[in-house]
Structure 1
């Protein structure tokens, strides 16, 4: 039995330009919006949540408002955070791990390299530390001490048909998630490709720890998905335009593949 995959949008930022999205951007001052997602994998009674988003407190702290709290965002899928026992954290940046405390019963899956990065000497640099929030990292450390953190070193298995793969680049231990669906093997790239344009046009995102890893990662994503249409970027508003709407106006069903006509309109 294959997995359902749902993209749940909880925030967006429209006051951005292409310079915020691409190194050496052409037309750098043109508007370039960003969407924020949580992903839900479901197979019968099994549920795996990928990333947590961030809450109202973090939104106020960073002056980056959210449209809905992650708890409310999951409600249309019939999911309460207390019921989630498996949580994949692609990396520990605030917008991907800022809701860890909302999932008190979850065992988290994390790359060992990400924990080492987020708690090591690199965090002495303001620029590298900026996408992290200390409380979120401390919550991940607490999961280790409570026996509810499973570390992966490179490639790892989370469940039948769900694997994780360390890409790095944007953050030292950034991992993508590979999921077996009816449409084929899907790759939730998270921030290994913020946008389709990153991976399809080999354009690097400006927040980067290792540029070579980021660029090599674009090719790796293509090997993890059955087709390019099944690579799901972490923040691209185009996801909401080429996939069918799901259980609510802010949820999209990914596992049945793209709408071919809409895909052709955007990419062919």
Structure 2
């Protein structure tokens, strides 16, 4: 059973083009969840890692565009220590996807099993398109960690809340939400004391309001999402399913990786 959930920002970014709030926020976070249970310590995504801070040039043109604040202090490895947790005790990393701002910390946790969709690992290894050559940075996760891949069937089955899914460990569920990438997933985490769920939706949405009846997502972020998505049909369908999920379940918080205001509320901090 989940005993505690922490919210970390492990990739504070000030992207090029953020000239006005209606275009794009001045600051974007990369929301990492730390899930404590009686016998496991799990990360949902990792943000950037120590290797990125030491060698920012490996992030290429995409990294330069994101203008991330790369430092050891920002990494999940460092922030776990501030929480009184040992990075060596991380047993599992569950990834929404392998984009460079989500997977940079994998090698910081060598004892962890890394869980993800089979199609995501295939795409990241092969990088068959220009978009995938730009978004995936193999040095972030080579030599290979302890991968564990899954291929849950998409199509509205009877798994988690009507989504086809696979339970990774107790109270942590992988939910396919492809579109942004070929194997993009959400990660559902039961809240402590059985008080509902978090659904970390990764980059299926960039602003939490996009899962509601009306979106306040800046137009620049909306355009960027269209630019980098891999499958437009799946992307649109899964966003509609997220809207239906939110409308029908008040006890589910749908987490958008880069929504700074939502992160501030959940983490109880101010991002500047």
TM-score, normalised to structure 1, is 0.76
1:170 maps to: 180
In 2, distance between residues paired with 1:48 and 1:232? 17
Partner of 1:84: 90
Q: How far, CA to CA, are the matches of 2:3 and 2:108 in structure 1?
A: 24
Are positions 1:43 and 2:41 aligned together? no
Out of 57, 74, 78, the residue aligned to residue 80 of structure 2 is 74
**More strand as a share of residues:** 1
C-alpha contact (below 8 Å) 2:10/2:46 kept by paired residues: no
How has the CA–CA distance of structure 1 residues 160 and 127 changed in structure 2, closer, same or farther, with 3 Å as cutoff?
A: closer
Q: Deviations over 1:89-129 (max 9, x none)?
A: 22111111111111111111110010111123xx2433331
1:109-148 correspondence to structure 2 within 5 Å: 109-120=115-126, 123-139=127-143, 142-143=144-145, 148=146
Who is 2:148 aligned against? 150
Question: Please, which runs of 5 or more residues in structure 2 have no aligned partner?
Answer: 58-62, 153-164
Residue 179 in 1 paired to residue 185 in 2? no
Give the alignment partner of residue 234 of structure 2, picking from 190, 205, 213.
Answer: 213
Q: Supply the distance in 1 between the matched residues of 2:185 and 2:255 (Cα, whole angstroms).
A: 13
Partner SS for 2:255: strand
Root-mean-square deviation (CA), in Å? 2.9
Contact 1:109 1:151 in 2 (8 A): yes
Contact 2:40 2:90 in 1 (8 A): no
Contact 1:222 1:231 in 2 (8 A): no
The CA distance in 1 between the partners of 2:122 and 2:109, in whole Å, is 22
- Where does residue 23 of structure 1 map in the other structure? none
SS at match of 1:82: helix
Distance 1:42 1:159, change over 3 A: same
TM-score normalised by the chain length of structure 2: 0.75
Query: Which region of structure 1 is more displaced relative to structure 2, 73-82 or 92-101?
Result: 73-82
* Structure 1 portions without partners, runs of 5+: 21-25, 252-268
Matched residue, 2:8: 8
Q: Does 1:97 align with 2:120?
A: no
SS of 1:109's equivalent in the other structure is strand
Q: Decide whether the 8 Å contact of 1:185 with 1:224 is kept in 2.
A: no
How far apart are residue 209 of structure 1 and its match? 0.4
Deviation at 1:74, TM superposition (A): 1.5
